[in-house]
Amino acid sequence: MGTILVLTNSSGGLYDFRNELLVRLLEQHRVVVSLPDTTKVKELEEEGCEIITTPINRRGVNPKEDAGLLLAYRRLIRDIRPDLVITYTIKPNVYGGFVCGFSRIPYIATITGLGGAFDRQGLFLKMIVMMYRMGLKKAEYVFFQNKENKDIFAGYHIHGKRERLVNGSGVNLGRHCFEEYPHGGKTIFLFVGRVMKERGILEYLEAAVRLHREDVEFAILGYCDEDYQELLNEYEEKGIISQWGFHTQVHPFLAKADAIVVASFHEGMSNALIEAAATGRPVIASDISGCREALEEGKTGYGFTPGDADDLIRAMEKFLELSGEERASMGKAAREKMEREFDRKIVIDAYMEAVNEIIQRSQTILSTPLYSLLKF
Query: Do the domain assignments include residue 107?
Result: yes
Distance CA 176, CA 131 (A): 37
User: Same domain, yes or no, for 23 and 83?
Assistant: yes
User: Same domain, yes or no, for 338 and 353?
Assistant: no
- Average pLDDT (44-70) is 89
User: Same domain, yes or no, for 106 and 116?
Assistant: yes
User: Same domain, yes or no, for 19 and 162?
Assistant: yes
Model pLDDT, residue 369? 60
Per-residue 3-state assignment (H helix, E strand, C coil) for 100-125:
HHHHCCCEEEEECCCCCHHHCCHHHH
Query: Do the domain assignments include residue 292?
Result: yes
Amino acid, single-letter form, for residue 323: S
Model pLDDT, residue 365? 61
User: Same domain, yes or no, for 264 and 139?
Assistant: no
User: Same domain, yes or no, for 311 and 207?
Assistant: yes
Q: What are 308-318's pLDDT values in tens digits?
A: 999 999 999 99
pLDDT band for position 40 (cuts 50, 70, 90): very high
Model pLDDT, residue 278? 98
State the greatest distance between any 2 C-alpha atoms of the chain, in Å, as a whole number: 80
On the question of pLDDT at 78 being above 60, the answer is yes
The CATH number of the domain holding residue 136 is 3.40.50.2000
Give 130 or 1, the one with higher predicted confidence: 130
User: Same domain, yes or no, for 12 and 160?
Assistant: yes
- Average pLDDT (27-39) is 95
Distance CA 135, CA 109 (A): 9
Query: Do the domain assignments include residue 164?
Result: yes
Q: Phi and psi dihedrals of 266, rounded to 5? A: -140, 145
Helix (H, G, I), strand (E, B) or coil at 332: helix
User: Same domain, yes or no, for 20 and 32?
Assistant: yes
Distance CA 101, CA 104 (A): 5
pLDDT band for position 367 (cuts 50, 70, 90): low
Model pLDDT, residue 184? 76
Q: Please name every residue paired with 110 in a beta bridge, in sequence order, or none if there are none.
A: 88, 143
User: Same domain, yes or no, for 109 and 123?
Assistant: yes
- Average pLDDT (14-35) is 95
Q: What are 233-292's pLDDT values in tens digits?
A: 999 999 999 999 999 899 999 999 999 999 999 998 999 999 999 999 999 999 999 999
Query: Do the domain assignments include residue 106?
Result: yes
User: Same domain, yes or no, for 309 and 322?
Assistant: yes
Query: DSSP secondary structure string, 238-284?
Result: TTS-EEEE--S--HHHHHH-SEEEE--S--SS-HHHHHHHHHT--EE
Helix (H, G, I), strand (E, B) or coil at 65: helix
Query: Do the domain assignments include residue 267?
Result: yes
How many independent structural domains does the chain possess? 2
Query: Do the domain assignments include residue 135?
Result: yes
Query: Do the domain assignments include residue 179?
Result: no
Q: What is the separation, in whole angstroms, between the first and last Cα of the chain? A: 23
Give 63 or 292, the one with higher predicted confidence: 292
Cα 175 to Cα 82, 166, 198, 199, distances in angstroms: 32, 20, 28, 25
User: Same domain, yes or no, for 324 and 348?
Assistant: no
Eight-state DSSP code of residue 292: G
User: Same domain, yes or no, for 123 and 216?
Assistant: no
User: What DSSP element (H or E) covers 149?
Assistant: helix 147-155
Domain around 63: 3-170+343-375
pTM given for the model: 0.88
Query: Do the domain assignments include residue 336?
Result: yes
